Structure 1
């Protein structure tokens, strides 16, 4: 499982989804998918790279790998 850090990074930079949409040229639905812990794993690497660039961080900073309910990582 993966936990998205994008909302936290956006909050630190006082950015909204609308701001990120403008900076990346992506749809708000794509940004919302990346923000969600339940669907960030469905995002393409290129999508995460654009978001990372817009937030000024490396792509690997956008998420954390976490244990799922069964204790398997």
Structure 2
């Protein structure tokens, strides 16, 4: 198959695909919306304080006596 013929076949396939896409779009069917992911739960001040204290203790234990 020569290059010119391959290009012509690709153009013909593109034309058919464009027609198929146009036919589908003309049906007016809207795409199914993707459900949005729920956001992260917000923390109140007390919960943030608890997490902060827990992480402070965690990192104190990770550092060990040599790093203090």
| TM-score normalised over the length of structure 2 | 0.20
Higher helix share goes to which structure? 2
Higher Cα radius of gyration: 2
**Greater relative contact order: 1 or 2 (C-alpha under 8 angstroms, separation 6 or more)?**
1
Q: TM-score, normalised by structure 1?
A: 0.19
